[in-house]
Amino acid sequence: MQKPAIAVIGGTGAEGSGLVVRWAHAGYPVIIGSRSDEKAAAVAAELSALLPAGHAPISGATNAAAAE
Protein backbone atom coordinates (compact mmCIF):
# COMPACT_ATOMS: atom_id res chain seq x y z
CA MET A 1 0.00 0.00 0.00
CA GLN A 2 1.40 3.36 -1.05
CA LYS A 3 1.53 6.01 1.67
CA PRO A 4 -0.22 9.34 1.03
CA ALA A 5 1.80 12.40 0.07
CA ILE A 6 2.40 15.06 2.69
CA ALA A 7 2.70 18.76 1.78
CA VAL A 8 4.72 20.99 4.09
CA ILE A 9 3.77 24.61 3.45
CA GLY A 10 6.75 26.81 4.26
CA GLY A 11 8.88 23.68 4.43
CA THR A 12 12.20 25.31 3.57
CA GLY A 13 12.96 26.39 7.15
CA ALA A 14 14.68 24.39 9.88
CA GLU A 15 11.54 22.89 11.44
CA GLY A 16 9.88 22.06 8.12
CA SER A 17 13.07 20.54 6.70
CA GLY A 18 13.48 18.30 9.73
CA LEU A 19 9.94 16.99 9.32
CA VAL A 20 10.40 16.49 5.57
CA VAL A 21 13.50 14.33 6.06
CA ARG A 22 11.84 12.18 8.71
CA TRP A 23 8.64 11.64 6.72
CA ALA A 24 10.49 10.83 3.48
CA HIS A 25 12.72 8.40 5.36
CA ALA A 26 9.56 6.75 6.74
CA GLY A 27 8.24 6.27 3.19
CA TYR A 28 5.91 9.24 2.72
CA PRO A 29 6.28 11.25 -0.50
CA VAL A 30 6.74 14.88 0.54
CA ILE A 31 6.09 18.14 -1.31
CA ILE A 32 7.90 21.18 0.07
CA GLY A 33 5.96 24.41 -0.40
CA SER A 34 7.60 27.83 -0.61
CA ARG A 35 6.82 31.27 -2.00
CA SER A 36 9.57 30.53 -4.54
CA ASP A 37 9.34 27.43 -6.72
CA GLU A 38 13.11 27.57 -7.28
CA LYS A 39 13.89 27.68 -3.55
CA ALA A 40 11.53 24.77 -2.86
CA ALA A 41 13.16 22.68 -5.60
CA ALA A 42 16.67 23.50 -4.32
CA VAL A 43 15.81 22.54 -0.73
CA ALA A 44 14.09 19.36 -1.95
CA ALA A 45 17.28 18.36 -3.78
CA GLU A 46 19.46 19.14 -0.74
CA LEU A 47 17.27 17.11 1.61
CA SER A 48 17.02 14.20 -0.84
CA ALA A 49 20.82 14.03 -0.89
CA LEU A 50 20.85 13.51 2.89
CA LEU A 51 18.79 10.32 2.72
CA PRO A 52 19.81 6.82 1.63
CA ALA A 53 18.78 5.50 -1.77
CA GLY A 54 15.22 4.24 -1.97
CA HIS A 55 13.60 6.89 0.24
CA ALA A 56 10.25 8.35 -0.75
CA PRO A 57 10.45 11.27 -3.20
CA ILE A 58 10.85 14.83 -2.00
CA SER A 59 9.75 17.54 -4.43
CA GLY A 60 9.39 21.29 -4.33
CA ALA A 61 6.56 23.56 -5.45
CA THR A 62 4.96 26.90 -4.71
CA ASN A 63 2.82 27.02 -1.58
CA ALA A 64 -0.35 27.09 -3.69
CA ALA A 65 0.68 24.09 -5.78
CA ALA A 66 1.77 22.11 -2.70
CA ALA A 67 -1.57 22.81 -1.02
CA GLU A 68 -3.45 21.34 -3.98
The pLDDT of residue 1 is: 82
Do strands 6-9 and 30-34 pair parallel, antiparallel, or not at all (unpaired)?
A: parallel
Q: Read off the pTM.
A: 0.92
Average pLDDT per block of 10 residues along the chain, 68 residues long: 93 93 97 96 97 95 96
For residue 58, which of 6, 10, 14, 9 has the smallest C-alpha distance? 6
What DSSP line would sit under 35-65, residue for residue? S-HHHHHHHHHHHHHHSPTTPPPEEEEEHHH
The pLDDT of residue 20 is: 97
Element (H, E) at 32: strand 30-34
